Amino acid sequence: MTIDDLMLQRGEWLQGTGPMSDVVISSRIRLARNLANYPFRNRAGESDLAEILRTVSEAALSCRSCKDATALDLDPADPLDRQVLVERHLISRQLADAPGPRGVVVTRGETLAVMINEEDHVRLQALRSGLQLTTLWGEINTLDDELAERVEFAFDGRLGYLTACPTNLGTGIRVSVMLHLPALKLTNEIVRVARAAEELRLAIRGLYGEGTDAVGDFYQISNQTTLGKSEEEIIEEFGESIIPRVVEYERAARQALIEKRPVQLDDRIWRAFGNLRTARIISSEETLLHLSHLRLGIATGRFPKMDVKELNDLIMPTQPAHLQKRTGRTMSGEERGALRAAFLRERLHHLN
Domains of the chain: total: 2
Range of the domain at 283: 262-348
Kindly state whether residues 306 and 171 are assigned to the same domain: no
Strand (E) or helix (H) holding 119: none
| Over residues 31-54, mean pLDDT | 96
- What are the tens digits of pLDDT across the range 264-283? 999 999 999 999 999 999 99
Quick one: 135 and 160 in the same domain?
yes
Tell me: do 213 and 316 sit in the same domain.
Answer: no
CATH number of the domain within which 219 lies? 3.30.590.10
Is 185 found in the same domain as 203?
yes
Taking residues 231-245, report their average pLDDT.
Answer: 90
**Are 187 and 49 members of one domain?**
yes
pTM above 0.95, yes or no: no
Residues 266 and 248 in one domain: no
285-325 pLDDT, tens digit per residue, is 999 999 999 999 999 999 998 999 999 999 999 999 999 99
Q: Distance between CA atoms of 4 and 326, rounded to whole angstroms?
A: 9
Is the pLDDT reported for residue 140 higher than 90? Answer: yes
The β-bridge relationship of strands 160-161 and 173-180 is unpaired
- Residue ending a domain, among 253, 274, 293, is 253
Measure the CA–CA gap between 10 and 241, rounded to whole angstroms.
Answer: 30
**223, 253, 283 — which closes off a domain?**
253
User: What is residue 213's predicted lDDT score, i.e. its pLDDT?
Assistant: 58
- Per-residue pLDDT band at 207 (split at 50, 70, 90): low
Domain shared by 94 and 130, yes or no: yes
The conformation of residue 242, written as its DSSP 8-state character, comes to: I
Let me know: does 114 contact 13? Beta carbons within 8 Å. no
Which is nearest to 329 in space by CA: 88, 79, 73, 77? 79
207 and 178, same domain (yes or no)? yes
Q: Helix, strand or coil for residue 220?
A: strand
The per-residue pLDDT for 210 is 55
Cα gap 284→292, rounded to integer Å: 12
pLDDT at 71 over 90: yes
Same domain, 150 and 284: no
CA dihedral 257, 21, 319, 9 (to 10 degrees): -150
Q: What is the pLDDT of residue 200?
A: 78
Q: Work out the average pLDDT over 175-183.
A: 95
Average pLDDT on 169-197 reads: 90
* Rounded Cα distance, 179 and 278, in Å: 28
The percent of the chain in helix, strand and coil, each rounded to the nearest 5, is: 50, 15, 35
**Residues 8 and 131 reside in one and the same domain:** yes
Mean pLDDT of 253-273: 97
Are residues 73 and 143 both part of a single domain? yes
Final residue belonging to a domain, choices 196, 220, 253: 253
Claim to verify: residue 108 and residue 56 sit in the same structural domain: yes
